[in-house]
Amino acid sequence: NTPVLELDDVSVVYESLSGPVQAVSDVSLKVYPNTVVGLIGESGSGKSTLANAIMRLLRNNARLTKGTIRVMGQDIYALGKKELRTFRWNKMSMVFQSAMTALNPVMTIEKQLVDTFRSHRKGMSYAEAKARSIDLLKLVRIDEKHLASFPHELSGGMRQRVVIAIAIALEPSLVIMDEPTTALDVVVQRSILNQIQELQREHGFAILFISHDFSLVAELASRIAIMYAGRIVENTDAHALDRDVPHHPYTEGLMRAIPKLTLEDVQIQGIAGHPPDLLRLPSGCAYHPRCPHATDKCRSVRPSLYELPHARVECHLYGEEKGGDDDTWMRRQ
């Protein structure tokens, strides 16, 4: 089973007037066919930067400083310009975070869909591209009468469906979705999520689903990568989040921040403190200023990645006694 997406030790730095911003650090991650991997983290943790790096659409002041990114075995940064153009949208596509503005306001939906096909499928006739566009709209449950509509004539949820339709139009193997439902109300969010799930099951593409909403991601993904200050601090089996097993202290903090509705009370506990300044990352474990378990070692030594039965975590709590005591992680139960 070859991964559709394979990130190996990826780092991205922005050059800024105040100095280099270490937005993504040493990220390794695999996404397999027909699966959904969730990527979550607070605002500014580097999620969109990583997504743009995968699409090779980094901003001019950003640079991939380390690592390799493979999509279907192909090193994205080894592609020539022309090959890259074919690769993008055909093999990998993305629903951008600003998707609500991704559609051209002065073009009908028909024109935008037809263009998607015709710019990537040389020789496809207008009639065939239109027929495919109608199929595509059906797939995302939009009536074909809306081919004639302009984006502003559609609701937010419908516009987002069109954007998703364009992303899957050329049947890519990997679809990156960067906060695809954040701008929508909860009911519409739910219906779009269900649809994404359905499309994914039917068509078998892999999804990297980016969000800051833990409960949303937990519903959709089989694996979840948790990003903090540019690092994936935990990569966990999504089911392990329902079980009483140990996680990275940051993950535990995020989980506590999910509203829990019980008959007696409503508990929401945010994580104290602020995400770090990426210009001046804290020494050792970047989470130490906010971590309730931080020790002197955490303040000076960056933790390695440790394997738990259900997850991989970058935290000293799980690695102090490597070798010998193989149930180190049990001590926190």
Instruction: Rank residues 184 and 313 by Cβ distance to Mg ion and give the closer one.
Output: 184
Per DSSP, helices labelled H in the chain are 47-55, 81-90, 109-120, 126-139, 156-168, 186-203, 214-220, 249-256, 296-300
293 counts as binding ligand SF4 under rule CB under 6 A: yes
Among 11, 25, 45, 251, binds ligand ATP (CB under 6 A): 45
Among 6-14, 23-31, 236-244, 290-298, the segment contacting ligand SF4 (CB under 6 A): 290-298
Furthest C-alpha separation in the chain: 68
The reply to whether 285 sits near ligand SF4 by the rule CB under 6 A is: yes
Q: Does 48 bind Mg ion (CB under 5 A)?
A: yes
Site for ligand ATP in 184-213 (CB under 6 A): 212
* Site string (245-264) toward ligand SF4, x via CB under 6 A: ---xx---------------
The CA-based angle 72-74-78, given to 5 degrees, is 160
> Mapping DSSP to helix (H, G, I), strand (E, B) and coil, where does residue 39 land?
strand
109-136 burial string, b = 16+ CB within 10 Å, else e?
bbebbbebbbeeeeeeeeeebbebbeeb
Contact 43, 12 (CB under 8 A): no
In the complex with ligand SF4, the residue whose CB is nearer, 188 or 305, is 305
Q: Is 226 in the site for ligand SF4 (CB under 6 A)?
A: no
- Count CB-CB contacts under 10 A for residue 167: 23
**Least CB distance to ligand ATP at residue 41 (A):** 6
Least distance to ligand ATP from the beta carbon of 21, Å? 4
Phi, psi of 142 (to 5 degrees): -120, 130
Please state, in angstroms and rounded to a whole number, the distance separating the CA atoms of residues 285 and 302.
5
Of 102, 142, 176, 298, the one binding ligand SF4 (CB under 6 A) is: 298
Question: Does 45 interact with Mg ion (rule: CB under 5 A)?
Answer: no
**Contact status: 276 vs ligand SF4 (CB under 6 A):** no
List, as one string, the DSSP characters of 238-272.
GGGGTTT----HHHHHHHHTS-EE-SS-EE--PPS
**Listed ranges 74-82, 148-156, 161-169, 291-299: which one lies at the site for ligand SF4 (CB under 6 A):** 291-299
The rounded Cα 66 to chain-centroid distance in angstroms is 20
| Residue 287 contacts which entry, ligand ATP, Mg ion, ligand SF4, none (Cβ below 5-8 A, type-dependent) | ligand SF4
Report the distance separating Cα 3 and Cα 53, nearest Å.
17
Nearest alpha carbon to residue 22 among 277, 193, 306, 192: 277
Q: Taking the CA atoms of 7, 63, 176 and 47 in sequence, report the sign of the dihedral they define.
A: positive
CB of 51 to ligand ATP, least distance (A): 8
Q: Give the footprint of ligand ATP on residues 268-297 (CB under 6 A).
A: 278
Using the 8-state DSSP alphabet, how is residue 326 labeled?
T
Residues 50-109 that bind ligand ATP (CB under 6 A): 59, 61, 97
> Residue 70: which of Mg ion, ligand ATP, ligand SF4, none does it interact with, CB under 5 to 8 A by kind?
none
Q: Which positions touch ligand SF4 (CB under 6 A)?
A: 248-249, 285, 287-288, 291, 293-294, 298, 303, 315-317
Q: Which positions touch ligand ATP (CB under 6 A)?
A: 14, 16, 21, 23, 41, 43-49, 59, 61, 97, 212, 278
